[in-house]
Chain A
């Protein structure tokens, strides 16, 4: 391995990139499941009560947007790791 100089800083950057990917990827699992569940329940509700579709859709989208926040925390952590470089 001659000519390949990996300093500690390089290792930290590499680990930050891997950590950023992991942060987004793992944080996307929960909201994905949750939003899919909400959408499924919303579809059920529309099937049972088609006349209330607009209200159900609004409520569903709102709940999904709120549960999306946990995924966005992961995204913010990844952005910090990539762009701010705290280490």
Chain B
């Protein structure tokens, strides 16, 4: 048994296209989210009657506030895009929480963040042209005064190209770094990719047993033996603590933060 960094592997190919596990999980997440949001958006009424509609309106309101405060007024057209972006990135970042290598987060493959960042880049260029007009858009590249053009033109072009790359590398680096550090901690304390699930189930069962029947027996033990039992219990739980640290920090905290950052920076790049 050994721990290895979860890799992008291709199980099979269709018409020469390699179908990797990233693509499979992306499709599954997209399908689940589509079903969820279609269900949330169906049967809406002017006067909310169901809890479902209130949830849907809350999500719409949250994203709408964020979009309006960052891009500007009258930007309702962006709300569906950003809701989808937010939901997809959040779900795929959090999907690593089940254990190392159970689901490889699709965003830990460089292709997924790059595709998302490219989408943001195309939308932002289109929106800038639409808002400023073609002439003003190209004038913006030339800089404020004519004699500065030779310096400003390359700088502006590079800064436009750097935006999607920095968005991509931020998300990819965070997720893959989390996977690698998680692998190191797993190999130090746990020693297997599959073990943690059994440890988690085992410890839950153990806790249930201890709490119900055997608790009195342990309570009546003499002091030295009690300490031994407690120590053994804590030692058994050590891998669990490591797991909680790894997945709590790198998947939940970092995942949520990166989702927020990605969406916020996309909005800032799009805003004219």
Contact = CB atoms under 8 A, between A and B. Distances in A.
Contacts of A65: 170, 257-258, 261
B257 A75 contact: no
B169 A72 contact: yes
Nearest to A82: B180
Interface string B251-271: 000000110110011000000
Contacts, number: 32
A72 B261 contact: no
A75 B173 contact: yes
A35 to B, nearest CB: 13
Size range of the interface on B? 10 to 19
Contact of B265 (A66, A73, A75, A79): A66
A76 B172 contact: yes
A interface majority secondary structure:
helix
Size range of the interface on A? 10 to 19
Contact of B264 (A62, A72, A76, A79): A62
Nearest to B177: A75
Contacts of B172: 76
A62 B261 contact: yes
A26 to B, nearest CB: 16
Contact of A61 (B166, B169, B257): B257
A76 B260 contact: no
Contacts of A79: 176, 180
B177 A72 contact: yes
B27 to A, nearest CB: 26
B173 A62 contact: no
A65 B260 CA distance: 10
A68 B258 CA distance: 11
Given A66-B265, A79-B176, A72 B170 contact: yes
Contacts of B264: 62
B169 A73 contact: yes
A72 B265 contact: no
A76 to B, nearest CB: 5
A79 to B, nearest CB: 7
B161 to A, nearest CB: 15
B257 A76 contact: no
A69 B176 contact: no
Given A61-B257, A65-B257, A76 B169 contact: yes
Contacts of B260: 62
Nearest to A63: B261
Contacts of A75: 173, 176-177
B174 interface: yes
B257 A72 contact: no
A61 B257 CA distance: 8
19 contacts: A61-B257, A62-B264, A65-B257, A65-B258, A66-B261, A66-B265, A68-B170, A68-B174, A69-B166, A69-B170, A69-B173, A72-B169, A72-B174, A72-B177, A75-B176, A75-B177, A76-B169, A76-B173, A79-B180
Interface of A: 61-62, 65-66, 68-69, 72-73, 75-76, 79
